[in-house]
């Protein structure tokens, strides 16, 4: 069983591929698109880099069972509109590969499921994620906290769907 979990933003989109067997994670792989240093390129190019990464992940992992995306915050109009663009590009790219049933999960739900606190810090989320990592990956170094957040999205979804046993 495989879950592709996404923590999306224009400047730093993170993806986590979780493999599950018998209610436990057996492997976790993360991917990151760093658009933070690419302010000089246009919106289309930045969105294109995210789409390209999604294509690479799918082409190398055609046996994905679930795709889940963390819902974005709707606080500031421009940021919200940009996030909608990112989500749209990711959904469009996934649909090219036949993935149409994409799940969404709220950030507070992710935090509460992984840490017990819906207002947990990024550090607390990473600590909660480590509890679920396979023994051989307990000391995994996450490229960014967005990567550990993407893993948390996948774990939370897996727990909610009874695919992963809650600790």
Question: Is pLDDT above 80 for 156?
Answer: yes
Query: Pick the residue with more confidence: 80 or 127?
Result: 127
Residues 6+ apart with CB under 8 A from 130: 138, 140
pTM for the model? 0.94
C-beta neighbour count of 157 within 10 angstroms: 25
Q: How far is CA 71 from CA 34, 84, 87, in A?
A: 20, 10, 9
Average pLDDT over residues 16-42: 92
Q: How far is CA 111 from CA 8, 66, 92, 118, 127, in A?
A: 16, 20, 27, 5, 11
DSSP state of 136: G
Residues 6+ apart with CB under 8 A from 121: none
Q: pLDDT, tens digit, for every residue of 89-136?
A: 999 999 999 999 999 999 999 999 999 999 999 999 999 999 999 999
Query: Pick the residue with more confidence: 1 or 72?
Result: 1
pLDDT of the residue at 44: 92
Average pLDDT over residues 45-55: 96
pLDDT grade, residue 74 (50/70/90)? low
Helix (H) or strand (E) holding 68: strand 66-70
**Terminal CA-CA length for the chain:** 19
The correct CATH number of 2-160 out of 3.40.50.150, 3.30.420.10, 3.30.70.100, 3.40.50.720 is 3.30.420.10
Angle between helices 122-132 and 107-115 (to 10 degrees): 60
């Amino acid at each position: 069983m495989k879950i592709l979990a996404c923590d999306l933003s224009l400047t730093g989109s993170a993806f986590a591929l979780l493999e599950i067997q018998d209610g436990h994670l057996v492997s976790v792989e993360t991917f990151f698109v760093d658009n933070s240093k690419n302010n000089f390129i246009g919106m289309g190019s930045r969105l294109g880099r995210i789409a390209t990464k999604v294509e690479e992940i799918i082409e190398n992992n055609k046996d994905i069972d679930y795709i889940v995306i963390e819902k974005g915050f709707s606080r500031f109009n421009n940021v919200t509109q940009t996030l909608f663009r990112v989500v749209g590009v990711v959904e469009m790219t996934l649909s090219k590969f036949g993935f149409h049933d994409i799940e969404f999960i709220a950030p507070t739900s992710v935090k509460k499921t992984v840490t017990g606190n819906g207002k947990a810090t990024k550090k607390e989320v990473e600590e909660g994620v480590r509890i679920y990592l396979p023994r051989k990956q307990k000391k995994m170094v996450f490229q960014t906290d967005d990567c550990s957040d993407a893993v948390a999205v996948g774990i939370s979804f897996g727990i909610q769907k009874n695919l992963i046993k809650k600790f």
